[in-house]
Amino acid sequence: MNAVMQMPMEMQDQSADPLLALFERQRARAIELRRSSAAERKARIQRVLDLVLSHRDDIIAAAAQDCGKPAPEVALTEVYPVVGEAREALRNLSKWMKPKRVRTTLSMLGTQAQIRPEPRGVSLIVSPWNYPVTLSFRPLISALAAGCPVILKPSEMTPTLSALMKRMLESAFDPQDVAVIEGDASISTRLLALPFDHIFFTGSPRVGRVVMAAAAQHLTSVTLELGGKSPVIVDRDADLDKAARNLAWGKFTNCGQTCIAPDHIYVHDDVADAFIDKMQQALKRTFGNDPSAWRQSADYARIVNHHHHGRVQRLLKDALDRGARLLIGGDSDATQNYLSPSLLTDVPADAQIMEEEIFGPLLPILRFRDLEDPIRQINARPKPLALYVFARDRKRIEQVISSTSAGGTVVNHVVLHFLHPHLPFGGVNNSGLGSSHGEFGFRAFSHERSVLIEKHSTTHMLFPPYTGFVRRMIDIAIRWLT
C-alpha cells in the first residue's frame, strides 16, 4: 500500500508532498463551503461558463492539434454541452439546494422532518481524452453547484487541451476551490491514495475497477461513467433513411471515440440489404462520394494517438482474418492516425471486435430473424451504457426495453440522451455507477442529509421500564402500523 495511505493525514509532512498540501487546503475550504449560498455557487459556475465562451476558439484549436477534430464538431460536442450544463445549473440551483419537507407519518406525530442536500466535500474528477472539455467541465459544474472544492485530473493523452484547461481554471479560481493536476497514470495513483470525499471518474471499465478499489480504502463514494459495447437494433419496420443518417452521425463523430457510440448493429434480415445500402449512402453524403476522398474530409476526426490507432487496426485485421467481410472502408494511414469509417458484416462471434469495446470507426452489422435473438445476445454480455432501437411498432420497442438492461436507451436516434438536461446519465454495473447531468449531477456531489426535529412527540411513552402500561402502548402502536 502507498505510504501516504498508511499514516493518518495529520501526521504526514505536507511540505514534502505538494499534492497532500493542496488536498489539505481544499479540505479546510470544504468546511467553509458547506455554508455557501446559492448566489456564491452560481458565481463560480458563471466563471466556468464565461471561461468556455471566451476560450471557444482556443478550445477548437487545441482539439484540432490533439486529435484533428473539425471545428463544428468541437463546438457541438465540447462547447455546447458545457454551456447547457452551466445554464441549467444557474436556472435551477436555488431550487435544488432547498431542503425538502418530508410528510410526517402516524408513528412520527409530533415531529418535523426534512432532507437537506449538503456538499460531500473534497472531490476528485478524473476525466478522459475523448471529450476532454465536456467530460471535465460538466462534472466540475455539478461539483461547484453542490458546494465542493475540486481537484481535476485531465488525461495526458490530449496534452494541448489539458494545458489549456489548466490555464483557464487557474486564471479564474484559487487552487483551494479548483485545482488542475496534469500528469500520467502515476499522478492518478498518487491522487487516488488521498482520502477524497467523492471521486468522479470517466473512462474504461478496467480502470473503473482500479478507481473503485482505491476509493474503497477510504470508503469514498464514487460516480463511475464507464463504457462497454452499446448495441443497436434496427427492426423490420424501421425508417431506414432515418436510421442510416442518425447512426452514421452517432457512430463516426469523433472517429467513433465516444463512450455511447453505437458499437454494433443487429438488423432484421428482411431489411438488411436495404439498410446496408443506405448506410453506405449516408457515409458518402457525410464524408464524400468516393471513400478514397474521405481522408481529405474536413469533417472527419482522427484516432487520438498511435497506440489506439494500432489497437483498432488490430481489431479490424482479426475480424477479417476470422472471416468477416468488409463492406466499405478499411483505409488506414498510421502516420496520421487515420482509419476510414468501415462497415463489416459476417463477423463471427469469437472475433475480438465482438468482445472488446471498439472505440473507433468500425461498425459490425449483424442479421437477425427473431427479435428474441439479439435480446438474448445483449443479455449475455455485460450491461451496456446505451442501447438504441430503430422501429415503429411500439410493442416490439417495449419488448426490447423491458427485456434488457442498459444505462440509457434512445428510440429512433442515438446519443441524444447525453444532451438532455433533465435525464440522468450513467451506466449500470459494468458500464457505470451513479448518474450525472443537471440535478442528477448536483445530487452526485451532494449527501442527502436527513434532519428530524422533535416538537411534541409522545415516543417517550414507549421507553423503559417496560411496565404493563408501556407494553400495552407498544402493542397499540404496532397495531396502528399494521
For residues 427 and 225, give the distance between their C-alpha atoms in angstroms, rounded to a whole number.
6
Rounded (10°) CA dihedral 138, 309, 233, 375:
-90
Whether 225 is catalytic: yes
Which of these is catalytic: 225, 255, 357, 439? Answer: 225
Per-residue buried b or exposed e for 207-222, using 16+ beta carbons within 10 Å of the residue's own CB: bbebbeebbeeeebbb
Total count of residues recorded for the chain: 482
Report the candidate in 205, 184, 180 with the shortest Cα–Cα distance to residue 124: 180
Q: What is the strand order of the sheet 123-126 is part of?
A: 178-180, 150-153, 123-126, 198-202, 221-225, 432-433
- In the DSSP assignment, the letter for residue 155 is -
Pairing of strands 432-433, 408-411: unpaired
DSSP for 59-85, please give it.
HHHHHHHHH---HHHHIIIIIHHHHHH
In contact, 462 and 109? CB cutoff 8 Å: no
**Across 194-236, where does the E strand assignment appear?**
198-202, 221-225, 231-234
- Please state at what angle helix 185-192 crosses helix 205-216, rounded to 10 degrees: 30
* Residue with the three cell numbers 428474441: 372
Is residue 54 packed enough to be buried (19+ CB in 10 Å), middle (13-18) or exposed (0-12)?
A: exposed
**Which residues partner with 71 through β-bridges?**
none
For residues 303 and 5, give the distance between their C-alpha atoms in angstroms, rounded to a whole number.
37
Q: Which H or E element spans position 246?
A: helix 240-252
- Asked whether the CA dihedral 48, 49, 52, 53 is positive or negative, the reply is negative
Cell numbers standing for residue 123:
472531490
Which of these is catalytic: 148, 259, 357, 439? Answer: 259
SS3 134: helix
Cell numbers standing for residue 315:
481489431
In contact, 461 and 472? CB cutoff 8 Å: no
Whether 88 is catalytic: no
Active site residues: 225, 259
